[in-house]
């Protein structure tokens, strides 16, 4: 009996030691944001009011090898109230001792990684425009890639003080997808340069991307890809930023409607000011595009012009109250888009 107890104790001890040796470091973070949004379309349609939830829970995993290289990954649980969806498409990141990083599997596009953040409303005003309006509102709208790729990030001060760059590439089997657009490969380059001008910290971001893809035997008239450039200046509690992007993108509208190609451009500008526990945001967006059936360039314009603003108040540690407002004016295929209008949001965010 004593022998059996000794064997059992040794086995448990061994398993416990193995469990500890094999455990990576795990950290958790996330947020719960909820509020009420009211939309007032310019058409005769009545105003709508709804509760907006944005809940996520992220688990980050990492471990450092004896040589000093860090291996990390993560997964996210999204919006439990919406049915328990999850985001598990992250790959692995290798962080080397010199500060450079290599993303493996679903790495992303290096162009989009360096898009400058432009202030806008911190609220969750939806204001859904007509689905066929494809005017872009983000600087990285033309940065497509496939999940089979890598992205390399240099360490800071690459070649010169303040410069950091990224390079990405992805591929696929080259077989054209039937029914919907499939990315067969991409290459992308991005750069961020940070410098000081007196009391002002200036950040400049740039990116360029080229993507190839097709649907069965049909190619787009212009492959997806484009360029973007942005500048952000921070002086004390004040942030000013502006950005511009131009390019072609492929938009997937669902299985019932064929994919379309978009030739667009967008200009964004914003201001953020922090005063103690209050944060004020104002942003403007102006996008324009011509969209057409896949393989056929568009001939008429879609446009969107948005102005948004918000006030955020830090109620307690990790708790922020938010009031936001957005007004949009848009056209679809050259005609007035009656789904535009204005929207209000009032809510709170709890983060951990």
CA distance 305 to 127: 12
User: 47: helix, coil or strand?
Assistant: coil
| Structure confidence by residue, pLDDT tens digits, 303-332 | 999 999 999 999 999 999 999 999 999 888
CA distance 280 to 238: 10
Give the residue with greater pLDDT, 17 vs 220: 220
Which spans in 231-336 are helix H?
A: none
Instruction: Give the per-residue pLDDT at 116.
Output: 95
CA distance 261 to 146: 18
Instruction: Give the per-residue pLDDT at 18.
Output: 44
Strand segments (E) across the chain: 25-41, 48-64, 70-78, 85-87, 92-95, 101-104, 149-153, 163-171, 182-197, 200-214, 225-235, 238-251, 260-275, 278-293, 301-316, 319-332, 335-336, 341-351
CA distance 50 to 34: 11
Q: Is the pLDDT at 349 greater than 50, yes or no?
A: yes
User: 105: helix, coil or strand?
Assistant: coil
Say if 22 falls within a structural domain. Answer: no
Instruction: Give the per-residue pLDDT at 87.
Output: 52
Average pLDDT over residues 161-190: 87
Say if 11 falls within a structural domain. Answer: no
Say if 21 falls within a structural domain. Answer: no
For position 330, which CATH number holds? 2.40.160.10
Percent over 90 (pLDDT), the chain: 53
Q: Which domain holds residue 241?
A: 33-351
How many angstroms from the chain centroid is the CA of residue 221? 27
Looking at the structure of the chain, the number of domains it has is: 1
Which residue(s) pair with 121 in the sheet?
none
Q: Is the pLDDT at 166 greater than 60, yes or no?
A: yes
Say if 5 falls within a structural domain. Answer: no
| Structure confidence by residue, pLDDT tens digits, 65-112 | 999 999 999 888 765 444 444 455 678 999 999 999 999 988 889 999
Say if 2 falls within a structural domain. Answer: no
How many angstroms separate the Cα of 112 from the Cα of each of 117, 189, 308, 318?
11, 9, 23, 28
How many angstroms separate the Cα of 278 from the Cα of each of 56, 201, 314, 325, 347?
24, 21, 7, 16, 15
Say if 139 falls within a structural domain. Answer: yes
Say if 340 falls within a structural domain. Answer: yes
**Residue 234 φ/ψ, nearest 5 degrees:** -120, 120
Q: Is the pLDDT at 167 greater than 60, yes or no?
A: yes
Say if 78 falls within a structural domain. Answer: yes
| Structure confidence by residue, pLDDT tens digits, 220-256 | 888 889 999 999 999 999 999 999 999 999 886 555 5
Place of tokens 């969107």: 304
């Amino acid at each position: 009996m004593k022998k059996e107890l000794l064997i059992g104790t040794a086995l448990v001890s061994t398993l416990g030691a193995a469990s500890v040796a094999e455990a990576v470091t795990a950290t958790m973070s996330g947020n719960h944001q909820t509020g009420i949004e009211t939309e007032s379309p310019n058409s005769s349609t009545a105003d709508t009011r709804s509760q907006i939830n944005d809940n996520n829970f992220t688990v980050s995993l990492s471990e450092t090898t004896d040589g000093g290289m860090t291996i990390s990954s993560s997964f996210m649980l999204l919006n439990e109230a919406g049915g328990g969806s999850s985001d598990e498409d992250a790959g692995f990141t290798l962080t080397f001792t010199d500060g450079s990083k290599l993303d493996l599997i679903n790495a992303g596009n290096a162009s989009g990684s360096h898009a400058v953040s432009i202030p806008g409303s911190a609220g969750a005003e939806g204001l859904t425009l007509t689905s066929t309006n494809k005017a872009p509102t983000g600087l990285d709208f033309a940065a497509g890639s496939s999940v089979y790729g890598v992205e390399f990030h240099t360490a800071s001060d690459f070649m010169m003080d303040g410069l950091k760059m990224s390079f990405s590439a992805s591929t696929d089997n080259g077989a054209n997808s039937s029914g919907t657009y499939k990315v067969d490969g991409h290459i992308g380059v991005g750069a961020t340069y940070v410098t000081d001008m007196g009391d002002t910290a200036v950040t400049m971001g740039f990116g360029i991307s080229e993507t190839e893809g097709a649907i069965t035997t049909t190619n787009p008239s212009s492959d997806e890809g484009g360029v973007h450039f942005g500048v952000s200046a921070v002086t004390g509690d004040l942030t000013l930023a502006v950005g511009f992007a131009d390019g072609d993108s492929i938009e997937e509208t669902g299985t019932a409607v064929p994919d379309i190609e978009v030739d667009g451009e967008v200009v964004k500008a914003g201001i953020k000011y922090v005063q103690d526990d209050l944060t004020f945001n104002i942003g403007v967006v102006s996008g324009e595009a011509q969209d057409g059936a896949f393989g056929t360039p568009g001939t008429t314009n879609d446009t969107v012009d948005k102005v948004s603003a918000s006030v955020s108040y830090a109620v307690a540690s990790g708790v922020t109250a938010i009031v936001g407002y957005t007004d949009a004016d848009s056209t679809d295929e050259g005609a007035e888009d009656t789904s535009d209008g204005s929207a209000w949001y009032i809510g709170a965010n709890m983060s951990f």
